[in-house]
Structure formats: structure tokens, C-alpha cells
Amino acid sequence: MAALSVGDLMVRYGSVTAVRGVSFDVAAGSVLGLVGESGSGKSTVARALVGLTPATGSMRIDGADLSSRQARRRVQLVFQDSRSSLDPRYTVEQCVAEGLTGVRGRAASARVAELLDLVSLDPAVAGSRPGDLSGGQRQRVAIARALAARPDVVIADEVTASLDVSVQAVVLNLLRRLRAELGLTMIFISHNLAVVEYMCDDLAVMFDGRIVEYGAVGEVIGRPEHPYTRSLLAAVPEIGQRRLLSESDVEASAVTDPASAGGCAYRLRCPIGPAANPEREICVTTEPAATAAHAHHAACHFARELDHPVGPRG
């Protein structure tokens, strides 16, 4: 596990100053969330950290200057849009192998298979092209490529923004698992405060190239001081009550016949849902031939996406 430390980071694009003296620390093994409106400078911070954009100020990993190539490899960035970050002419294996160093031939193929397995992709996709995959699968490939370099720090820049909600939850849970399994330190960039609350330990809010609020995620969300943070929170009134659920958190039992053509009512028990209402009933429409597992998945997806109780029953 590695600690990251950034001091007085400044980035200019010609006459535009995109980042104006940003400082933060990410403790080893922790996740810092970076939120802020479009254009506030979040991606520029990420790009500066991996050396894609020239910057002034200090950037250190475990005390080592990130301007050295060796230190820089320890920080990997996963971009928002895997459609453009993965070369469409490459196979999945070639895309992931781009991140490897000093491994060739069979050893490289074996390592790629291991990485695909780590991100829960079927190794059979190794021969596919990114364009043949779903958005969620492509994002897993991008994560596998970042992990190929055996980084200590992973920066995830809006990695779920282009995915639909059920796939977002799967990718977020994958990142949480990888963080725990590999002891990663992370910076998680997002527009979505609910997602940041789910993923992060600390939170920095950016506004116009500066960090205007910074602290433990619960404190920043619980006692927002800056007007901009308050306005972000006002846009998500239910935050603090709602959690993204993984399917294993949800118990769903059918209360009507799952085979009925008109759909099926499911009673869900969500132990980490709003405390006052851990049990809610929702109605999902399933194909008459749907299996129970499919219906359960649909019920959980529905609960996550719309958080839409149908009302108490019985």
C-alpha cells in the first residue's frame, strides 16, 4: 500500500489555469473522492498525476517524486470512456498486454488471462476486439490494463459515467473488491455524490480549479460548509439514506406467481437500506419464462435504479 501526496499543484493550458494550487493526501489503502462540476479541474489533476499534462507543484508516492518514470508507473489511470481509451484495432489481449512490462510470449498471455480473471471477465474474450464488447466489459478490460502495471495507486476518472445503472453498480463493486484484495490506494473522480459516498473514505470538492472542501466523506457530506458543496448535496436530497446495493445485500422473495405474464411482485429485504424502512415491496415485470435468478436480478436492479417502493402490503 502506498500513500500519495500532492502539494500546490498548478496546471495551465495556455491562458486557462485549470488547476490553481491543489493540495491533498491520500493515505495508503484509502480512497479519496474528487467531485466537482464539469470543468472544475478534476480530470486535469488526474492527468497531471500520471504525467499526461505538465504541472507544477509536488506529487509524491511514498515520498518519491512522481516525475521519475519508475514512480509514475506506480500510478495508473482508468479513463471514463473505454471506447476511445482502448485501441479498436487491438484484441483484448493486446490491450491488456500494453500495461505489462518485461513479460512476453506465453508468459504475457498467461498474465493477461490472470488479469481478465481478476476483473471477472471470461478469458475467452482475449481474442475479441473492444468494439465487440459491452460498455461494462470494456471498462473491465481498461481496469485490467491498468492493473497489468501492478500499480499501487489507481485513479478512476468517471469510470461508470457512460454505463447504465445496473452495470455501474457491478463495476463499482468490482473496484471495491480490487481495492480490498490488492490493497490499492485510489482516487475516485465522479459527478455523483451518492456513488462517491459509497466508494470513498475522504472527499475533496473542487470548484474552479481549487479544492473548496476536504475531509472525511461523512463529515463533508454531514456538515457541508462551502455553498457549492451544499448545492451539490441539495441535488441529491436522499443521500445518506440511500446506498448502492449489491445483489448479495438484497433478499427478494416473490409474493405473486413469478410465471405470471403481467409481472411479479417482489418483497425485498435490504439490510443497508433506509433504516426506517428496511423492507419494501416493489413490482417488477418479468418475462413469463424468466428464471427465479433472472427475476431476482431484475428486482435488485430495479430497487437500485429507481429506489421505488410500491407501498406496504400485508
Ligand X SMILES: Nc1ncnc2c1ncn2[C@@H]1O[C@H](COP(=O)(O)OP(=O)(O)OP(=O)(O)O)[C@@H](O)[C@H]1O
3-state secondary structure of 85: helix
43 binds ligand X (CB under 6 A): yes
16 binds ligand X (CB under 6 A): yes
- Find the part of the chain contacting ligand X (CB under 6 A) among 40-48, 68-76, 193-201, 300-308: 40-48
Q: Where are the alpha helices (DSSP H) in 158-313?
A: 165-182, 193-199, 217-222, 227-234, 292-306
Shortest Å, Cβ 161 to ligand X:
9
- Find the part of the chain contacting ligand X (CB under 6 A) among 35-43, 70-78, 172-180, 249-257: 35-43
- Find the part of the chain contacting ligand X (CB under 6 A) among 38-46, 166-174, 246-254, 255-263: 38-46
Question: Quick one: 18 or 133, whose CB is closer to ligand X?
Answer: 18
Member of 9, 44, 79, 99 binding ligand X (CB under 6 A): 44
The grid cell for 286 is 418479468
CA gap 129, 257 in Å, rounded = 42
Shortest Å, Cβ 208 to ligand X:
9
Shortest Å, Cβ 5 to ligand X:
20
DSSP 8-state secondary structure symbol assigned to residue 247: G
15 binds ligand X (CB under 6 A): no
DSSP 8-state secondary structure symbol assigned to residue 246: P
CA gap 10, 58 in Å, rounded = 9
Residues in contact with ligand X, counted by CB under 6 A, come to a total of: 11
- Find the part of the chain contacting ligand X (CB under 6 A) among 42-50, 250-258, 263-271, 304-312: 42-50
Member of 6, 18, 200, 254 binding ligand X (CB under 6 A): 18
193 binds ligand X (CB under 6 A): no
Member of 15, 38, 70, 248 binding ligand X (CB under 6 A): 38
User: Which residues have CB under 8 Å from 102's CB, separation 6+?
Assistant: none
In which element (H, E) is residue 235 found? none
229 binds ligand X (CB under 6 A): no
> For residues 103-122, which are near ligand X according to CB under 6 A?
none
- Find the part of the chain contacting ligand X (CB under 6 A) among 33-41, 122-130, 235-243, 268-276: 33-41
Question: Quick one: 19 or 264, whose CB is closer to ligand X?
Answer: 19
39 binds ligand X (CB under 6 A): yes
CA gap 85, 79 in Å, rounded = 7
42 binds ligand X (CB under 6 A): yes
40 binds ligand X (CB under 6 A): yes
> Which residues of this chain interact with ligand X, rule CB under 6 A?
13, 16, 18, 36, 38-44
